[in-house]
Amino acid sequence: MPKKQLTELFTPFFATITDPRLQRGQRHSLLNVIILALCGTLAGADGWVDIERFCQHKRKFFKRYLDLPNGIPSHDTFGRVFSLLQPAALLACMQRWLESLRLAVCAEVIAIDGKTLRHSFDKAAEQGPLHLVSAWATQTRLVLGQVAVDSKSNEITAIPQLLALLELTGAIVTIDAMGCQKDIAADIIAHGANYVLALKDNQPTLCQKVHAFFRHHDQVGFIDKSIKRIQSTERGHGRVETREYYLAAAPMDLPAEEQWLGLNTIGMVRRTRVQQGKKSVEVCYYISSLEPKVRKFAKAVRSHWGIENRLHWILDVTFAEDQSRVRKDHSPANLGMLRRLALSILQRDTTVKDSIRGKRQAAGWNEDRLLAFLTGFSRD
């Protein structure tokens, strides 16, 4: 990579971001701070001190590609910049980068789910732990957007904000029971997408009606051929898990059916797990705008479950997100965004056959590999 090309890689997407700092006394450009922080996060650094430490060890490398007249920023500088930087502005830049890849979400399953950063609370400032609601493209494994709220209960208000940021035409949006709201369903339809929404006691009348419908048909052995069904079984790690998917046209007598825009079908999923001789059964119910095609429904439900181990679990285990003590102002949300962008970059890469942890180590140990991850992500 020729000198300065690293800056040129980021400039089209980050050049317009507003620097929140006072102009006097600035020793490091905002763009350089963002580039260094992302590179450090890619390479295994899990906080501002680690990012400074990594960049200091690689300062000769970074000086080949960045103008650093004042050297590497201190961890205090990283912390101060990202505590002041508006998360919405940083997210807008990242979304421009994703849009440049021309990744179509048509027929993609977009899972929306929240995750609490457990150690981001600050008792002295009376600040609770931050909760990040993310939109995740399950096939391309990219985080498409993120909204920060101060508690899980606020997901209901965060989801419409997140939907407003996304291009969803042709996609299937999946959300857990917290997001099973009439306005959210209507919003998804207005975006030209379909929805699969988990149904629980936050919609008690509707949930009871759907439960009664499937209980009746279960008791007679699902002899009604209009109810579509498929089954899958997986074995591994000492357990056997069977999943049964059922999908039916929405009954005409569903309560307030006309208030659920686009509602076409209702679904049930029964998961039976046998492990070490112990059997457990879990049953979940759904409403959906999908047509009665059970395979598409099953794919959407299964893809949504994957957000836990392909996004949240990796963020906790590989990026140590739950252990992060970054707390000040906008820092937790911005660092969370850097982690999700770094994870998207590493998951999109197909040149290295390794775990995310192994790829982070490769980026930290091998400068050419770090550059390859960045440039490869930007290649259509």
Let me know: does 174 contact 300? Beta carbons within 8 Å: yes
3-state SS, residue 143:
strand
On whether residue 312 sits in a domain, the answer given is no
> Can you give the pTM of this predicted structure?
0.86
Higher pLDDT, 52 or 120: 52
| pLDDT (mean) for 75-95 | 92
**Number of compact structural domains in the chain:** 1
Residue 288 contacts residue 262 (beta carbons within 8 Å): no
* Chain position carrying tokens 């993120």: 146
Print burial letters for 295-328: b (CB count within 10 Å at least 16), e (below 16). ebbbbbbbbbbebeebbbebbeebbebbebebbe
Output Rg (C-alpha) for the chain, integer angstroms: 23
pLDDT for 195 equals 97
238 or 112, greater pLDDT: 112
**Per-residue model confidence (pLDDT) at position 157:** 87
Q: What is the pLDDT of residue 3?
A: 46
Q: For residue 129, is pLDDT > 60?
A: yes
Please report whether residue 214 resides in a domain: no
Confirm whether 318 is domain-assigned: no
The yes-or-no verdict on residue 278 having pLDDT over 50 is yes
Q: Give domain status of residue 27, yes or no.
A: yes
184-193, 254-263, 284-293: least confidently modelled range: 254-263
What domain range includes position 75?
5-99+337-377
Q: What is the mean pLDDT of the chain?
A: 88
User: 262 in the Ramachandran plot: left (φ > 0), alpha (ψ -120 to 50) or beta?
Assistant: left
Find the mean pLDDT for residues 199-213.
Answer: 91
Share of the chain above pLDDT 90, in %: 57
For residue 49, which amino acid is it?
A: V
- DSSP β-bridge partners for residue 142: 137
Instruction: State how far the Cα of 265 lies from the Cα of 291, in Å rounded to an integer.
Output: 7
Residue 179 falls inside a structural domain: no
* 328 domain-assigned: no
- The reply to whether 300 falls in a domain is no
Whole-number pLDDT of residue 142 = 86
Domain annotation covers residue 361: yes
Question: Is the pLDDT reported for residue 201 higher than 90?
Answer: no
The least confident of 82-96, 173-187, 249-263, 336-350 is 249-263
Pairwise CA distance, residues 245 & 50, whole Å: 46
